[in-house]
Amino acid sequence: MPIIKFIKEQKEIEVPEGANLRKEAIKAGVNVHQGINGFGAGLNKFANCHGFGQCGTCRVKITKGMENASRMGMVEKLRFKVPIPTPVTPGGVDPLPCLAYVGNEETMRLACQVKVMGDIEVETGPELDLFGENFFS
């Protein structure tokens, strides 16, 4: 059975092959909805799309074993690549999930869209470099 290692939480869990990463994290008491650099983690834990690939709050980095994660599907690709307009952000565009992806194309995934097929290592709440060169590029 595959093992998921949550790096920040220093937790390892064994899961059935094909298990959903977000669901297994929740069962293990790991919050994959950590907001922006930790801000909003408490709120996002409850205010999210509950696994439909729409909110982008379950972003994680798979730092090892990406070959053991299911391939990125259309919903996930769209969520990362196409900013969805929302009324809450200036200009009506929600850029955060999209920009979080920049520079991390090989490792960033939405936990709710990942099926675990083998051993992986996961970093929850990957940092956004809000003032780095990638943010506004």
4 contributes a contact to ligand FES by CB under 6 A: no
Residues 32, 46 contacting (CB under 8 angstroms): no
- Closest to 62 measured CA to CA, from 2, 3, 121, 13: 121
Q: What is the nearest approach in angstroms of ligand FES to the Cβ of residue 77?
A: 13
Q: Can you name the residues that pair with 59 across neighbouring β-strands?
A: 110
116 contributes a contact to ligand FES by CB under 6 A: no
Give the separation between CA 98 and CA 88, rounded to whole angstroms.
16
Q: What is the nearest approach in angstroms of ligand FES to the Cβ of residue 44?
A: 9
68 contributes a contact to ligand FES by CB under 6 A: no
- Among 20, 48, 68, 124, indicate the residue that binds ligand FES (CB under 6 A): 48
Nearest residue by C-beta to ligand FES? 112
In terms of CB distance, is 34 or 136 closer to ligand FES?
A: 34
Size of the site for ligand FES (CB under 6 A): 11
Which stretches of the chain are assigned E, i.e. beta strand?
Answer: 3-6, 11-14, 19-20, 59-64, 84-85, 93-94, 108-110, 115-116, 120-124
In terms of CB distance, is 97 or 131 closer to ligand FES?
A: 97
Coil, strand or helix: which one is 137?
Answer: coil
Q: Which residues bind ligand FES (CB under 6 A)?
A: 48-49, 51, 53-58, 110, 112
